[in-house]
Structure formats: structure tokens, C-alpha cells
Amino acid sequence: MRLLLPALALLLGLVATSGAARAETKSPSSVSITAVGDIAMAPSTDGGGGFFPRMRSALTGDVVLGNLEGTLATGGTSKCSLSSTNCFAFRAPPAYASLLRRAGFTIMNLANNHALDYGPTGQSQTVAALDRVGLRHTGRPGEIAYVRVGNTRIALLGFAPYPWAQSLLDIPAAVRLVRRATANADIVLVTMHAGAEGAAHEHVRPGTETFLGENRGNAIAFSHAVVKAGADVVVGSGPHVLRGMEWYRGRLIAYSLGNFLGNGTLTLSGPDGVSGVLRVTLRRNGSWAGGSVVPVRLVSPGVPAPDPSGAALDEVRSLSKQDFGRNAVRVTRSGTLQPPGWRTG
């Protein structure tokens, strides 16, 4: 009997250890989130095969998010008239959804100014194309996308200043939606399409931004409000250039990740061609565990490639310091992101 007791204890210990290992597999202690900026696809002679191959090693994570500027459709009517010289409508074949999936993306934001470039028909065909390849999406009014990583539930919400998107302009409504997501998820990620466009608008300024007569929202007020409501990270798109990063109440706000793909659709010169891949790790309670930026440059005809010069790191570092001072996220030479005042041990 004495011999059996140690053996039984050992067996029970192995069972307990096995159960703990299974629980650890189901409930990871952290979640990795990867995000990029604007993706505006157009038909390509190579079928889009050259869009993402050089970036696949960076497009990994439990959640990989991109802002899909435009439609994946064959139908619908363009918002631009034939005589228009200052109107841009983006459309690519629905089959290009598979390019996004194979590149590593898991979810696309549809809250932006190009989601209705080809009307409701174009939008519905885009959603159907994403659904067919298993890509989640968020950004339409009232829409919260939930994904699971083990037993960790992540909510993703997209906002933009347009009636076909969850409103960026109605901050109280945004707060209510984020609170609802917070009540039903462990981690909440908010993406916003906010701010004026182009090299003249790299800086984040207090107050409402306008562009081409449009109210493009108050990015700072919106971001601070949703963080207070429970958002664990806020990722921006829309300005088509990189913007600074702010550390607010223990949470990261990346105001714009710039362009990521624009084959024949987006400007490539100057700051418009400098981009980055944001990689963040959060603990299960949403707190910061680490992060980095992978520097990217768009090369002809508008596809992303790793940038050994690290221009994006210099850009984000400088803009963050200028715009947010003591609340600026620190960007190291290697691209590691650190909260203000962080020191190595």
C-alpha cells in the first residue's frame, strides 16, 4: 500500500500537470496583434501575386488587421462621374480577398471613405468576398467583430466619419459601443479612420480636422474617450502618412500607420511612401506586454517592402516627441516600442 501511494500521487500529479498544460494552451497569457494602414488594391497584370510576398514574415499574429480602402467587387456604380478629375474610386476583383488571407490577414476594417466607392452593391460584394475566404471584418454601424485566441476573447471595432460606418463623430455613441464590447471581451481593439490627408498633415493636432470640406473627426478626443471606455489599443488610418504614437492611461494610440498597399491607386513619393507594420503584445487583461514597428517602404507599383533604412522609425519617433511630449511612445533604433520613462533593468 505504501508503494502504491507514491505511485498514485505521481499519477495524479501527471494528470494535473497535463490538465494545466491544456488550460495554458487554451488560455494564453498574452495575445499578439499586428496592424497595418491603408490597403487600396487595383487589378494587377500578375493577379496580385506581387502584392505581399516580401512582407509575409511580418504579417503574423493572433490578430492581423488591415484597413481595406475600396471594394472587392464586379458590380455597383462608381461614385465618380466620367468627367471627374478629382475623385477616386477603388475596385479590385473579389478574388483578391484570397490574397489578403494568404498574406496573413485575419480581419479587415471597412470603416473608411472608400467602402462605398461602388455603392451598396460594391460594399455587399466586398463583405461576401471576405466571408468566402474566412476573413473577418468590422466597421459598419453597430458592428463588433469578436475573435477567440484560446479562451481569450478579443473585440474589434472600426470607426469613420461617414454614415455607412460606425460614427467617429458621435463620440458618446462610440463610447457606448466600446463599453458593450468591453463587457463581452477580454481585450478591445479600436481602429479609427480619422484626420486630414497627405504630407502636410503628419502632425496630430487638438480639435476637429477637415479635409476637402469633410469633417474628419477629432482624433485625440475620440481616442482618449474610447480608451477611457475600455479600449486597450487604438490604431489609426486615413491620413495616408505615418503619425505619432501616444501613451495614454497605460494604452497605446497609434494615430496613423500610413499606406501599406496602393498599386496604381496611392501616392508613393515622400512621406506617403513610408510605412510600418505595428506589432503589439497584450496580456489577457489588455495591459501592455511589448511592441515594435517594422519599417516599410512602398516600392513601384505601390507594394510594401522591408526598409533597411528604418525611415519609419525616425518618422514615428520624431512625430511622437513633437506632438505628445512626455506622453510620447519611445521608439528605439531597433523599432521596439516602450512606454514613456521605461528603463531597462
For residue 123, what is the domain's CATH number? 3.60.21.10
**101 pLDDT exceeds 50?**
yes
Whole-angstrom CA distances from 49 to 33, 37, 96, 263, 307 are 25, 20, 9, 12, 20
Phi/psi class of residue 204: alpha, beta or left (left: φ > 0; alpha: ψ in -120 to 50)?
beta
Q: Could you tell me whether strands 233-237 and 187-193 are parallel, antiparallel, or unpaired per DSSP bridges?
A: parallel
Query: What pairs with residue 293 in β-bridges?
Result: 278
Of the segments 13-17, 22-26, 75-79, 100-104, which one has the largest average pLDDT value?
Answer: 100-104
Q: Is residue 316 part of a domain?
A: yes
Q: Is residue 44 part of a domain?
A: yes
Q: Is residue 60 part of a domain?
A: yes
Global pTM value? 0.90
How many secondary structure helices (H) and strands (E) does the chain include?
A: 6, 20
The one-character DSSP state at 4 is: H
pLDDT score at 3: 41
Burial code of 2-23, b = ≥16 C-beta within 10 A, e = fewer? eeeeeeeeeeeeeeeeeeeeee
Q: Is residue 257 part of a domain?
A: yes
For 255, the grid coordinates are 494615430
**343 pLDDT exceeds 90?**
no
For 78, the grid coordinates are 462608381
User: For 192, phi and psi rounded to 5 degrees?
Assistant: -125, 140
Q: Is residue 284 part of a domain?
A: yes
Which tops the pLDDT comparison, 10 or 61?
A: 61
Q: Is residue 7 part of a domain?
A: no
Q: Taking all residues of the chain, what is their mean pLDDT, rounded to a whole number?
A: 92
Give the number of domains in the chain.
Answer: 1
pLDDT score at 22: 36
Q: Is residue 115 part of a domain?
A: yes
For 284, the grid coordinates are 489577457
Is 58 within 8 Å of 297 (Cβ atoms)? no
**17 pLDDT exceeds 70?**
no
Domain region containing 286: 27-76+87-338
**18 pLDDT exceeds 50?**
no
The span from the first CA to the last CA of the chain, in angstroms, equals 52
Is 230 within 8 Å of 210 (Cβ atoms)? no
For 220, the grid coordinates are 485625440
Q: Is residue 238 part of a domain?
A: yes
